[in-house]
Amino acid sequence: MTVEEIFAALEEKFGVKREMHDKWGVTAIVSASYLHNVVQFLKDETGIKFDMLVDIAGIDYLTYPNHEGPRYAVAYAFKSMENPGARIRLKVLVSEEDLKVPTISDLYANANWYEREVYDLFGIVFQGHPDLRRLLNHVEFVGHPLRKDYPAQKRQWLSTNDYLLPELEKRLETLGYRVVQRSKEVETNDNEFLEGSIKA
């Protein structure tokens, strides 16, 4: 199918509209309520098969010139491996009052981490996500640093150990590995060796 045919099918089935400001003409505006259905259609429909999720990105329009409408958006970039060069971009507009978008992590495995990144940096919640927590910032971090009104010079310290270590050890043990604790003597010997190597 051509890009024009794909957009015509999306408009007929889901009421999707093309974004007029996209100079490449490959972006469709999708409501959050139809997102999952639209993505599944693009992934599975014969003749379309956008089988690769390239990226998910958050957008904050707070200081964008002449912007009208919701402050935030989530943009999804897809590519077809069967039809090289075929690309499409979906954009879901998200208001400050309702920062929710359905997850598509059940359709594309890599959406899991992309959605966590957008959640961490913009505060947009992906409903139905299996493990929605921060990915780039530490567990005590307050706020979302890619929002336009986040103070760029603000510093935030981590005062506790990262809780991921016990989870990682548990996962390794379920896979049959034995987690070995390093003794103080071994650590001391290692440190002495490193100091000696540096001096040499």
- Residue 43's nearest CA partner among 109, 92, 128 is 109
Separation of alpha carbons 5 and 13, rounded Å: 12
**Inter-CA distances, 98 with 12, 49, 118, 126, 131, Å:** 27, 31, 15, 11, 20
Q: Where in the chain is the domain with CATH 3.30.460.80?
A: 3-160
- Per-residue pLDDT for 93 more than 80? yes
What pLDDT sits at residue 59?
A: 97
What pLDDT sits at residue 165?
A: 73
CATH class (in words) of the domain with range 3-160: alpha beta
Whole-prediction pTM: 0.81
End-to-end CA distance of the chain: 67
Separation of alpha carbons 87 and 188, rounded Å: 55
Q: How many Cβ atoms from other residues are within 10 Å of residue 40's Cβ?
A: 13
